[in-house]
Structure 1
Amino acid sequence: MEGSTLTRPQPGTDSARAAPSPGERGDGLAKIVFALLCVGFAIGFFVFPTYPVYDSYYSLLWGRDLLHGNPLVFDGFRYPTEHPLGIAAGAILQLFGSWGDRLWVAMILAAFLVLVAGVYRLGRIAATPLVGAVAAALLLTRFDYPFLAARGYIDIPYMALVVWAATLEATRSRRGVPVLILLALAGMLRPEAWFLSAMYWVWVSWKATWRQRFVFAAIAASGPLVWASTDFLVTGDPLFSQHYTSLSAEDLGRQRPLSQLPSAIPGFFKDLVKLPVFAAAGLGALLGIVISPRRMLMPIALLLAGVVTFLAIGVAGASVIERYLAVPALALMVLAAVTVAGWTMLSKSWVRTVWMVAAAVIVLAGVAYQATHLNLSRFDNELRFRGQAHTDLTSVLKDPRVQAGLRCGPLTGPNHKIVPDSRWIADLGDGKVWARAQSYRDPDSKYTLPLQTKGVAIVVTSRFAIFKHAWTDAADDARIQVPPPGFKRVKTSRFYAAYVRC
C-alpha cells in the first residue's frame, strides 16, 4: 500500500504554488548539507595529506609507462591486477608531475562524495528524503568506506558508478543506454560489473527491438572487451587477469571453496555495516515491502545482484575479501534507513507516531553508544601515518647519498609493500625496485631473485610502520628486515633507514 508523506494543497491554489512539497524541502536541505560536506572533505584533504594505496600506485605507474611509451609489465611479485580505466586515469594524472598521487586521492575523495549523493538519491527514490539522508549518514559513519576513499582505493569510483546506474534505473525503468554506459565504465574498474551488465542487458532487452538489443549488447560487452584487449596487448593472453588473479589469491590465501562462500557473506556484511545496521536492514526490507513493494525493488535488486556477483568471482577463483561485498552493503544501508525513517512513508496516524518515537529512541541510543565507544585516535593515527610515512620515504630516497647508491644497483624494501611508492617517488622503472622477500622464496619460483649485493636497501624502523610495511605476511622470512651484508647506513627518518653499498 502506497502512503503519502503529507497532505498537499490542491493544484491551482495559491498555497500550492507558494509552498514547496516536503520532498522539495528535503532536497533543498540535502543540497546545503552536501555542500558543507564537500567543504569538510576539502579541508580534510589538506589536514590529512594521505597517499594512494598499493594497488592504486600501480595504476599511476602503469599510466606513467603508457604516457611515456614504456612497456607495461603486469606480471610481477605480488603485483595487483590491473584496471584499464585506472591506468587511463593514471596516465592523465602524469600531466601534473609529482602531484599526480595526491590528485589521485582527490579524485577518489570526489568519487566518494558522488557515492554519498547517489546513496541519498537511491534512498530518496525508494522512500523519502529522510530515508535517503539516513542512508547517506550510515555510509559516512561506516568508517571503512571513507577510509577506503582517503587511501585512494579504486573501489570507491566503482561503487559510485554502480549506485548511480541503479539510481537512474530506479528513476525510469528500462532506461537502457545511460545505465549500461555507467556499468561498462564500472566494468573497466572491477570485473563484478560484467555480471551486472549481463543481468541488466537481459532485463532491458526483454521488450527492446533487435537493433536496440544489439546496441545494448555492444555497450555491455565493452567492459570485458577493453579488459581482455589490454591483457592481450600487454601480455599476449586475453585472459591474463583471470589467470593471474586466481594465482595471486591462492598465494595470499584469499580463495575459498564454493561451500564456504554462503556462510562467509553474513560475517562480511557485519564487518562492513556492523551488526545493528545489518539487523535493521532485514527489518527495513520487510517494512518497505509491506508499505510500498514496488519502490523497494531497486535496493533489493542491488543487494541480490551484488551477492550473486560476489559468489561468481569466488567461484572463478578470485580473492574473497569483504570489500568485494561493498556494493550490496550499500543496499543494506538504504534498507536499514527504512527502519529508522520509513515512518515518513506513512500518512499521519498512531502507527506513524509510534514508529517515529521508537526510531528516535533507537537513534539517540546509537549515537550515545558510538560517542562512548568510538576511538577517533585510531583513525587519526592511521591517516597521519599515511602522510608521514610518505614524507619520510621521500626524504630518504631524495638524499644525495641514496641517489648515488641508486646508480650502483637496485633499490629494495623488506617486502612488496613500499615497492610502488618507492618507484613513484624515485621515478624508477619496472625491475629497478624489488622486495628482499623475493630472495627467500622457493628457488623454483619465477619471482625469486638472488640476495642483493649492491645498491640501496630500505629497512623499516618504527614498530607501527613495521606491521604496515614489513611483516605483513606470515610467509615472509624474518631476514627481510636485515640489510644485506656489507651495506652501510647513510640516512634515517622516523620510519625508514637507508643502507648503501657500491
Structure 2
Amino acid sequence: MSARRTELAVVAALALIAVLAWALVPTYPNYDAYYHLAWGREITGGHLPTFGAYQAPTEHPLYLALCAVLGLVGEHADRLLVLLTCLCHVAFTYAVYRLGTAIWDRRAGLAAALLAGSSFALLLYAARAYVDEPFLALVLWAAALEAERPRRGGPVWVLLVLAGLLRPEAWVLGGLYWLWVGPRPRRLALVLVAPVLWCVVDAVVTGDPLFSLHATSDLADELNRSRSFSEVPGDFVSFLADTARLPVAVAGVLGALWAWRRREGRSTHVALALFAAGTFTFFVTSIAGLSVLPRYLTVPAVALCLPAGWLVTRTRWLLAVAVVAGVAFVVVRADAFGKLATELRFIRSTHDDLSAVLHTPQVRAGRRCGAVTLPNYRLVPDTRWILDATQRQVGSRSARTRTSGVALLLVGDKLLRRYGFADGASPRTNAPPDGFVRAVRRGGFTAYVGCP
C-alpha cells in the first residue's frame, strides 16, 4: 500500500471514530451556533435573520448559510452540525500532518498532528459546534496546499475566501498571500471578496454594512470583555499556552528557534504566516475594543504545534524526553479527561432537561398567554431552536422583559453558575415574576406560568 493510501486509510478510521463518538456521546451546539441555526431557520422561512436580537453573537456568513441548509433537515440539524464540526476536526488534523510533512518530513507531520488534534480545547470546540473547527480546517488545508506547491494559487485562494467568511483572520492571511504570490491589482479582488460579502450581508439584513463590527464592539463593552492594551500581552501568553498546552507551546518556541538556527525546513514561511496573522488579528481586536477571547488564538496555537512536532522527532533522546514529558503531563493532568467527560455529560443533561420542560403540557398551555423567558440570554437561542420559536416568542428577563407567559428558573449550583448568571445581567432575574405560579419542574428547570 502506498504512503498516501495509508494516510487516507488512517483518516477514514479517524472519521469513523469521530462518527461513533458523536453517536455514542451526544452533545449539542454552543450559544453562537444555536443562534446561527435559529437565523438559518428564519432565512428558510422567508424572513431576514434577527442579527439585532438582545446579546446576539457576531454573524458569520458562511456558517449562516451552512446552518440554513442544515435547517432544512428539521429539528435534528443541531446534532448534524456537531457531526460536521467533529469531521472538520479530523480534516484539520490531517491538514496539520500534511503541512508538517511538507515543511519537514512525515515524522514531524505526524507528531504535529498528534499535538494539535489532541488539544482538549479544540476537541471541546468540535463537540460544541464552534465555528473555529471548519475555519481551522479551511485555513490549514490552504496552508498545506501552499507548502506542498508554493504559489499554487487557485485552490489556496478558494479556501482562504471561504475561511474569510467564517473568521477575519483569513483576511490577513489573504493579504499576506497576495503579497507573496505577487501583488497584482487583479488578484486584490480575491483578498477583498470575503470582507465585501460580509459587509453586503450586514447591509442587506440591518442596513449597516459594518454592523458586525459595531455590534461586536458594543457587546464587548456591555459584557466587560474588552481589555486595555496593557493587559493583552499577558492574555496572549496565557491563552496561547492554554490552547496549545504549556509543554507544547514551550516546545514550539524552542523548535522554531532551533529550526531557524539550523536552516531546516521548506516553506517555513507558511507556518510563520499562520502565527503572524493570528497574533496580529488578536492584538488588533483588542485595540478595536472587541472581545478578547482564547478562541481568537487557535491559529497561532496550531502553528506552534508544527515546530514542536519537528523538535521532538529530531533525535532519539529528544523523542524519549518528549514521551516522558508527555506521560508526566498526562499523569499530572489526568483529571482533564474526566473533566472533559463531565462537561459533555453536563451539556447533554442540560439540553435534555430544557427540552423536556419545554415540551410539557403546562408549558405549552402557558405559551398561549405569552413568551417564554429565561433569566438571561445564555439559553435563549437553544430555547428558540427547540421550540421553533421567533425572537418575540422567547426572551430574557435581564433585558427587562416583563410579560405574561412562561418564566423558566434554574435550579442547581453548576447550572446556576453556567446559565443562571451572566455578565451584564442581574442575578435577581432567576426569580419568578410577580403573579406567576409554579407549574412544572424537569431536572434543573422549573417553569412558572402567568396568565392575565
Would you call these one fold, judging by a TM-score over 0.5? yes
- Which of 52, 57, 62 is residue 29 of structure 2 equivalent to? 52
Which structure has the larger Rg over C-alpha atoms? 1
Partner amino acid, structure 2, of 1:479? R
CA distance in structure 2 between the aligned counterparts of 1:472 and 1:240, rounded to whole angstroms = 24
Distance in 1 of aligned mates of 2:37 and 2:20? 24
**Which residue matches 2:180?**
203
- Counterparts in 2 of 1:156-175, with a 5 A limit? 156-175=133-152
The residue type equivalent to 1:125 in the other structure is A
- Given candidates 258, 273, 277, the residue that maps to 1:301 is 273
Q: How does 1:374-385 map to 2 (within 5 A)?
A: 374-375=334-335, 376-385=337-346
Partner amino acid, structure 1, of 2:191: A
**Which of 309, 314, 317 is 1:337 aligned to?**
309
Q: SS at the partner of 1:492?
A: strand
Unaligned stretches of 5+ in structure 2?
none
Query: Which of 177, 185, 208 is the equivalent residue of 2:162?
Result: 185
Cα RMSD between the aligned structures? 1.7
Query: In the alignment, residue 335 of structure 1 is paired with which amino acid?
Result: P
Q: Determine helix, strand or coil for the equivalent of 1:98.
A: coil
CA distance in 1, matches of 2:285, 2:174: 15
What residue number does 1:472 align with? 422
How many residues align? The count is: 449
SS across alignment from 1:459 = strand
Contact between 1:462 and 1:496, CA under 8 Å: does it hold in 2?
no
Kindly provide the amino acid, as one letter, of the partner of residue 449 in structure 2.
Answer: V
1:491 to 426, 440, 443: 440
Structure 1 residues 70-469: aligned runs within 5 Å = 70-206=47-183, 213-214=185-186, 216-289=187-260, 290-341=262-313, 343=314, 355-375=315-335, 376-439=337-400, 449=401, 451-452=402-403, 454-469=404-419
Sort the Cα spacing of 1:358 and 1:72 in 2 relative to 1 into closer, same or farther, 3 A: closer
Deviations 1:341-365 (A, max 9, x none): 1x2xxxxxxxxxxx21232133133
Q: State the partner residue of 1:35.
A: 12
Taking the aligned partners of 1:262 and 1:173, their CA distance within structure 2 comes to: 33
SS of the counterpart of 1:97?
coil
Deviates more, 1:46-55 or 1:359-368: 359-368
Q: Structure 1 residues 423-432 or 304-313, which shifts more?
A: 304-313
CA–CA separation in structure 2 for the residues paired with 1:141 and 1:467: 28
Q: Which moved more, 1:176-185 or 1:145-154?
A: 176-185
Supply the distance in 1 between the matched residues of 2:63 and 2:173 (Cα, whole angstroms): 19
Corresponding residue number in structure 2 for 1:6? none
* TM-superposed deviation, 1:293: 4.7
The CA distance in 1 between the partners of 2:271 and 2:331, in whole Å, is 29
Cα separation, partners in 2 of 1:369 and 1:220, compared to 1, 3 Å: closer
The question of whether the paired residues in 2 share the 8 Å contact of 1:413 and 1:458 is answered with yes
Q: Quick check: 1:462–1:494 contact (8 Å CA) kept in 2?
A: no
How many percent of aligned residue pairs carry the same amino acid?
40
Q: Which residue of 2 aligns with 1:69?
A: 46
Distance 2:194 2:356 in 1: 40
On the 8 A contact 1:437/1:480 being kept in 2, the answer is yes
1:108-137 Cα offsets, whole Å, 9 max, x none, are: 111111111111111111111111111111
TM-score (norm. length: structure 1): 0.86
CA distance in 2, matches of 1:255, 1:231: 23
Deviation at 1:85, TM superposition (A): 0.7
User: How many Å separate the matches in 2 of 1:185 and 1:58?
Assistant: 20
Is the Cα contact below 8 Å between 2:104 and 2:265 reproduced in 1? no
User: What is the CA-CA distance between 1:192 and the residue it aligns to?
Assistant: 2.0
Between the aligned partners of 2:117 and 2:178, the Cα distance in structure 1 is 32
Instruction: Indicate if the aligned counterparts of 2:173 and 2:273 stay in contact, CA closer than 8 A.
Output: no
For 1:394 and 1:239, locate their aligned partners in 2 and report how far apart those are by CA, in whole Å.
36
What does the per-residue CA deviation read over 1:446-480, in whole Å, with 9 as the maximum and x for residues that have no partner? xxx4x33x10011111222111111233x422211
How much has 1:490 moved relative to structure 2?
A: 1.8
Letter in 2 for 1:476: A
Tell me if structure 2 keeps the 8 A contact 1:287–1:338.
Answer: no
In the superposition, relative to structure 1, how do residues 391 and 264 fare at CA in structure 2: closer, same or farther (>3 Å)? closer
Structure 1 residues 421 and 404, CA, compared in 2 at 3 Å: closer, same or farther? same
Q: Distance in 2 between matches of 1:53 and 1:279?
A: 30
Check 1:500–1:107 CA distance in 2 against 1; reply closer, same or farther (3 A cut): same
SS at match of 2:447: strand
- Asked whether the equivalents of residues 372 and 405 of structure 2 are also in contact (C-alpha less than 8 Å), the reply is yes
Deviation at 1:219, TM superposition (A): 2.2
Taking a change above 3 Å as real, the CA distance of residues 410 and 266 of structure 1, as seen in their structure-2 partners, is: same
- Partner-residue secondary structure (3-state), 1:52: coil
